[in-house]
Amino acid sequence: MKETIPNHVAVIMDGNGRWAKLRNHSRSWGHIKGVDNVIEIVRAAADAKIKEVTLFAFSTENWNRSKKEVDTLLNIMRKFLKSKRDHIIKERIYLNVIGQREMIPKDLVQEIDQLDTLTKSNYQIKLNIAFSYGGKFDIIQGVNRYFEEHDKPITTDRLDEYLLVGNVDLLIRTGGEFRISNFLLWQIDYAELFFSPVLWPDFTKVDFIKIIEEVHKRERRFGKINESTD
């Protein structure tokens, strides 16, 4: 059996609100604590020779939450970009924020674009932050962009080129839930899935590496049959 290290790992960072509630704090406090994990997990991924990580930070559906929580999440993103800027640059991380930008406040878009420009030539690892992102939106925008440039039928290979990120090898969801939640629907068609019971603020690099080691031993067949075992 051939062992493979995933090139692209996606993570649904779930459990912030429940983590805070267990400690008699507000959901907002849970989101704030959850941010502390981001650089640690990305650093662990880089050490494991993973080339790309996509983190689900804010979905298109999250805009339907209370204004107070939405404002908190927007401010957390602002603070992350400012407070982690030096870490991101120093550790040669290319930061790429993907999502429905017209929904995001202009000042935050400017912060995103500035850090994107500063880190575009970084090579250690690519960090995609899915913010105001939905899998269905990604597919639709990819199809629309394709037909703006072509007048011939679209194919799966052609659509791949117009999506916001490429195919995913491993999808991790923390927090004990067993849903995809409209995340990278096209890109995870043959991804390995791992659902961790650990709430995101408690999710450590040790947890992350254990998952990588387990998945490293799985055989990915992409619909084919292994004649030696089947």
Composition of the chain by helix, strand, coil, percent to 5: 45, 15, 35
The answer to whether 215 touches 11, Cβ cutoff 8 Å, is: no
∠ CA 78-141-130, rounded to 5°: 30
- Residue 192 vs residues 4, 198, 214: alpha-carbon distances, Å: 12, 18, 11
Q: What is the secondary structure of 110-137 as a DSSP string?
A: HHHHHHHHHHTT--SEEEEEEEEE-HHH
Instruction: Please give the Cα distance from 18 to 131 (Å, whole number).
Output: 21
Give the residue among 28, 108, 109 at the shortest CA–CA distance from 68.
28
Instruction: Please give the Cα distance from 119 to 126 (Å, whole number).
Output: 9
The answer to whether 200 touches 32, Cβ cutoff 8 Å, is: no
Residue 36 a catalytic site member: no
Q: What tokens does 123 get? A: 């090579």
- Considering 7, 62, 75, 167, which one is annotated as catalytic? 62
- Considering 14, 37, 128, 169, which one is annotated as catalytic? 14
The answer to whether 55 touches 11, Cβ cutoff 8 Å, is: yes
Residue 14 a catalytic site member: yes
Residues with active-site annotation:
14, 62
